Structure 1
Amino acid sequence: MTVMSTQNDAPLPQSDAAGSTVSPEQREALDRLEAMEAQLEAALPLVSDAEAGLAAIRAMIEAMEPLMAAYDTTWVEDQESVAELDPPLAVLGEDTVWDLYGREHAVMTELLRLSARVLAPADED
């Protein structure tokens, strides 16, 4: 991971080395760049947070795959087999696993929507 610093304590010039003042065009450019600098400072920690979030998404997928595989194959038979034992297992609830799958699906759908926004931005005509 690349660590970027936005620290630049040098004051913005009001005049150059020869003593001439900053032109209006240069001032406008500096103002735009200062605004970009503030946006960069806000974005840096958020991108780091998103990178950490990807690790959580990977872990979610790795945990959900075997859960859904069991749900799709042996869950009904296993549930029926232990019904008279009435074990205190959340997975025996009719909608417990399915609802969690729905939440995973919602997370991934939103991630896909956001990815499309970044990777294929709308034309700005």
Structure 2
Amino acid sequence: MTTKLESLRLFFPAEVTAAYVGIQNLLAANGVKKTEYMLFMVTVAALLAIINAVLYWQKHKTRSIPWQIVLAVGFFVWVANIDLERFKDLPLLGANIEITAPVAVIFYTLLTSMFDLPKGQADAHG
């Protein structure tokens, strides 16, 4: 599963993924437990998904709205998998997130493997 998550992460600019992980670490360094601040982190994820879309739109010339939606869904799938404990209380999805998040990665990977997802220019070179 770690390999699938790492492959998924490569579709997002490093700035976006580093920002999410950085905020996670900032909360942890200030004594916030992994099960706290769920709504805050959902908001952070939504804002970073928007920033991700802007980066792809501006820097990488990905103008397709369907691809932007695919990338946003992928970002939320990645976030859910790296922050499972925090999202257990999420309405509708939280009760089974330990099962649904990994399954979502598997299906997202299978579905997107049929297409060439746009990659950031920096990711394409390294």
Which protein, 1 or 2, shows the higher relative CO under an 8 Å CA cutoff with sep ≥ 6?
2
Report the structure number with the largest CA radius of gyration.
1
Instruction: Please report the TM-score for the alignment, with normalisation by the length of structure 2.
Output: 0.32
| TM-score between both structures, scaled by the size of structure 1 | 0.32
